[in-house]
């Protein structure tokens, strides 16, 4: 029973990761047999993982199609930004003194890679890099409950991004630079205000699209 439970959690984490990386898009169907075959497991833990994702509001059960990635609305995305703004404000305040110089270097490298991905039109790569940028900050806070809440609410954004294009993508990417600078200064108040403004600006930009 324990092994089955572990499998279920690992599969759920895998599916969440696939959504956040843009491998699964809004409306895509999750096929139990295909997932089980790819992971080399039985269908039972896959079925349970899918059931958990449905309860989390990530999947819809569609008649004659089965489990599909939920199609999120702009209202869903704005709500997610509100919650992420609060969660990441908490995270960065705790993380600002815990992030190592190597972590900061990685944030800078990810930022540069996001710019390049945007210039070459690689949407999925840009989304994955954006996720990685924020994930480093959230993980550095060393708060498991906060991290789990962040992952759940972040899925809304990544699933929506698979079919949505902001008008000013480069401007959004450039908003990450002040976050890095605040972390470099080890200024918790400045970092918190900067990342909160990041999500406030994203909400405002949704109204302009």
pTM: 0.77
Residue 61, SS3 per DSSP? strand
Instruction: Choose from 35-44, 67-76, 180-189 the range with maximum mean pLDDT.
Output: 180-189
Average pLDDT over all residues of the chain: 86
Same fold yes or no, 2-69 and 74-208: no
Listed range (1-5, 22-26, 64-68, 99-103) with the worst mean pLDDT: 1-5
Q: Which residues contact 146 (CB under 8 A, 6 or more apart)?
A: 87, 90, 91, 138
Q: What is the mean pLDDT of residues 182-204?
A: 95
Span 2-69 CATH architecture: Orthogonal Bundle (1.10)
The answer, yes or no, to whether residue 168 has pLDDT greater than 60, is: no
The answer, yes or no, to whether residue 195 has pLDDT greater than 70, is: yes
User: In the chain, what are the domain boundaries?
Assistant: 2-69, 74-208
- CATH fold, domain 74-208, is 1.20.120
Listed range (34-38, 57-61, 84-88) with the worst mean pLDDT: 57-61
Q: What is the mean pLDDT of residues 118-130?
A: 81
CA gap 47, 49 in Å, rounded: 5
Give the model's pLDDT for residue 157.
67
Dig out the tokens for 117 from the structure: 């991905």
């Amino acid at each position: 029973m324990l092994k089955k439970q572990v499998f279920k959690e690992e599969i759920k984490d895998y599916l969440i990761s696939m959504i956040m990386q843009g491998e699964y898009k809004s409306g895509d169907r999750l096929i139990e047999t295909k997932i089980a075959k790819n992971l080399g497991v039985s269908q039972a833990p896959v079925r349970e993982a899918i059931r958990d994702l449905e309860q989390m509001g990530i999947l819809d059960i569609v008649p004659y199609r089965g489990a599909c990635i939920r199609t999120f609305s702009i209202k869903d995305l704005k709500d997610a930004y509100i919650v992420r703004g609060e969660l990441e404000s908490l995270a960065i305040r705790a993380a600002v003194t815990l992030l190592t110089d190597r972590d900061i270097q990685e944030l800078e490298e990810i930022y540069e890679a996001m710019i390049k991905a945007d210039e070459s039109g690689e949407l999925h790569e840009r989304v994955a890099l954006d996720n990685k940028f924020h994930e480093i900050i959230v993980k550095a806070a060393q708060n498991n409950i906060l991290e789990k809440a962040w992952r759940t609410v972040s899925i809304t954004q990544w699933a929506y991004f698979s079919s949505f294009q902001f008008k000013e993508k480069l401007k959004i990417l450039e908003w990450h630079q002040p976050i890095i600078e605040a972390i470099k200064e080890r200024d918790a108040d400045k970092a918190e205000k900067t990342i909160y403004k990041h999500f406030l600006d994203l909400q405002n930009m949704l109204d302009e699209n």
